[in-house]
Amino acid sequence: MSRASNGKPGFSYESQEAFNWVDYLKETGGSAAPAKCFKQFETPPKNEFRPGMKLEARDPRNLTSICIASVISTIGPRLRLRLDGSDDKSDFYRIVDSTDLHPNGYCEKRNELLQPPLGFMGNPSSWNTFLKRTKSSASFAPESFFKPEPPTPSANFFEVGMKLEAVDRKNAQLICPAAVGAIDKDQIHVVFDGWKGAFDYWCRYDSREIFPVGWCQKGEHPLQPPGNRAVPPKNRIRNNHSEEETREKSATPPIERSLNHINSTDGEKCVIYIKTSCDCGPYIEKDKLRTLNVKKVGPVPITSGLHVAVQSLVDCAKHQRTMFSRIRDGNGRVIININYGDKVHSKRLPPIETNDALWAFLREFLQDVDACQRLFSPDGFIKCEQCTNASSSEKKANFPTGSIKKSQPSSPATAEGLLKSVPNEPVSRDHRRHLEENGNIGEVKKIRLSVGDKEKVKSEKRRSSGANSNGGATRNSLNNSLSTEVAQGNKLFFKKNVTKNFRIILQE
Ligand SMILES: [Zn+2]
């Protein structure tokens, strides 16, 4: 196989460039719903929140309650939120100008009590203690971060056939191109291209989950191209795009391509692959690492990538306290949380703004926890020579466990260095399992998906048949779907349901 054809590096399907509304409207013959239809500002509000900040938020499952919530991540003008005391399965998204969000003290001013979230995991009698502890250790988002709500349209101005952008309610972090399929008084039927109704829903015309065409791009929110999920009959944009991309890719060696990709994103985005088959050292539980939900992060801003990468490893720690003590702290924006001694402890990481600094930090971090320094990689799930060789012997000669090796002969600290240091060799048969675990499917000759979710199977089938019939296109499309699920820090937990159901089966 040629590595150029594995199509791993350089995916940017999560970014706005991958989807062009102008072409799409031409191709599908639709018109965009005018801005007056929406309860959204034409210019999406600025998102100043940072992960880890707390606020008061309406419990989406119990609308009479206001709870303490934490910002888990930010995505464009939206926040991924988790109510303190609930688990990650009830995370939800809100735009920063939502009336469901309030600064600290909102309840108190109104003589209301902050409520435990529906499904509070603690003992109900411990709520007050929990609340006190949470509030005392929290960094609350300043009042200026909360933006005023946009005005409500005076009537339902939508017409059938109008195009818009809409939240995919089954994967709430995604916003996808959609159309108005039907109208009933105050309700509109939001229809997603190519899904035969699986994701469609009715909502009020003033729903905060629908946006005018172009909203995502203006708000730097990813827009999921329809072809990522299925190819609508009239729309061949996705295919054309894949072909172009395949051509482009085979022309440029993968490493350079990946560097271009990393360097070309001005706001310094990063892509981090977590190679869970690498030696993770004595502090991390191998099994937890292997079942990690996120194996690819990005393209996301540097700070989000840093947060997800470090927090993911910390979450896999054998001994939280020891792990915690090994993280170097600083005064940056990223905060890592860890649970021990019945308390949540936080540590602030150093300020990191560039890919160079990011990779230098990650390498040091891996070194500090005695793990393989290629466990994080900017360039896909490329074979790690060191760990593959070591896996047959009991211990990795170069990485004796149990002590910090700051004097370890260092591999290059920059993304470029890391990429260049990655061995570029054909893949052996022995290595197949390693690849499979890593999700590297560049080697796959035939791909069969066994998926629990019916929709997913349908879409995969349709996507494969819709895509170019050569293997490369099929692989690309599978890669897309995988990387789409895994991509971006904010999609972190969503993956849980999907990926467990995915199995990549290698056939001769
Ligand atoms: Zn390794």
Q: How far is the CA of 373 from the centre of ligand 1 (A)?
A: 7
Please count the other Cβ atoms lying within 10 Å of the Cβ belonging to residue 388: 18
**Mean pLDDT of all residues in the chain?**
70
Q: What is the DSSP letter of 317?
A: B
Q: What's the chain's Rg over C-alpha atoms?
A: 23
Q: What is the pLDDT of residue 21?
A: 87
Q: Decide which of 2.30.30.140, 2.60.40.420, 3.90.1310.10, 1.10.10.10 is the CATH code for 20-40+152-224.
A: 2.30.30.140
The per-residue pLDDT for range 363-408, each reduced to its tens digit, is 999 999 999 999 999 888 888 888 876 654 444 334 333 333 333 3
Q: How far is the CA of 391 from the centre of ligand 1 (A)?
A: 10
Residue 140 bridge partners (DSSP): 54
Q: How far is the CA of 418 from the centre of ligand 1 (A)?
A: 12
Report the candidate in 127, 2, 11, 1 with the shortest Cα–Cα distance to residue 380: 11
Taking 90 as the threshold, does the pLDDT of residue 96 lie above it? yes
* Residue 107 to residue 68: CA distance in whole angstroms: 10
Q: How far is the CA of 386 from the centre of ligand 1 (A)?
A: 5
Token pair recorded at residue 497: 């349901």
Q: What is the pLDDT of residue 257?
A: 26
Q: How far is the CA of 305 from the centre of ligand 1 (A)?
A: 20
Q: How far is the CA of 389 from the centre of ligand 1 (A)?
A: 9
* Residue 175 to residue 488: CA distance in whole angstroms: 14
* Domain boundaries, given as residue ranges, for the chain: 20-40+152-224, 54-145, 241-505
Residue 189 near residue 182, CB atoms below 8 Å? yes
Q: How far is the CA of 412 from the centre of ligand 1 (A)?
A: 15
Q: What is the pLDDT of residue 438?
A: 43
Q: Alpha helix (H) ranges present in 98-218? A: 106-109, 127-137, 215-218
The per-residue pLDDT for range 216-262, each reduced to its tens digit, is 999 999 888 774 333 333 332 333 333 333 323 333 222 222 223 33
Q: What is the pLDDT of residue 494?
A: 31
Name the residue with higher pLDDT: 304 or 339: 304
Token pair recorded at residue 332: 């940056």
The per-residue pLDDT for range 171-225, each reduced to its tens digit, is 888 899 999 999 999 999 999 876 667 788 999 999 999 999 999 999 999 888 7
Q: How far is the CA of 334 from the centre of ligand 1 (A)?
A: 26
Q: Cα angle at 426 between 250 and 383, to 5 degrees? A: 95
Q: How far is the CA of 209 from the centre of ligand 1 (A)?
A: 42
Token pair recorded at residue 484: 């789409």
**Percent of the chain beyond pLDDT 90?**
31
Q: 241-505 in CATH: which number? A: 3.90.1150.190
> 54-145: what CATH class?
mainly beta
The per-residue pLDDT for range 133-172, each reduced to its tens digit, is 888 888 999 999 999 999 999 999 999 999 999 999 888 8
Q: What is the pLDDT of residue 343?
A: 64
Q: What is the pLDDT of residue 18?
A: 57
Name the residue with higher pLDDT: 505 or 20: 20
Q: How far is the CA of 376 from the centre of ligand 1 (A)?
A: 9
Report the candidate in 154, 190, 174 with the shortest Cα–Cα distance to residue 19: 174
Residue 253 near residue 261, CB atoms below 8 Å? no
Name the residue with higher pLDDT: 341 or 319: 319
Q: How far is the CA of 385 from the centre of ligand 1 (A)?
A: 7
The per-residue pLDDT for range 37-68, each reduced to its tens digit, is 999 999 999 999 999 999 999 999 888 899 99
Q: How far is the CA of 274 from the centre of ligand 1 (A)?
A: 10
Q: How far is the CA of 239 from the centre of ligand 1 (A)?
A: 35
Taking 90 as the threshold, does the pLDDT of residue 15 lie above it? no
- Fold agreement between 54-145 and 241-505: no
Q: How far is the CA of 500 from the centre of ligand 1 (A)?
A: 23
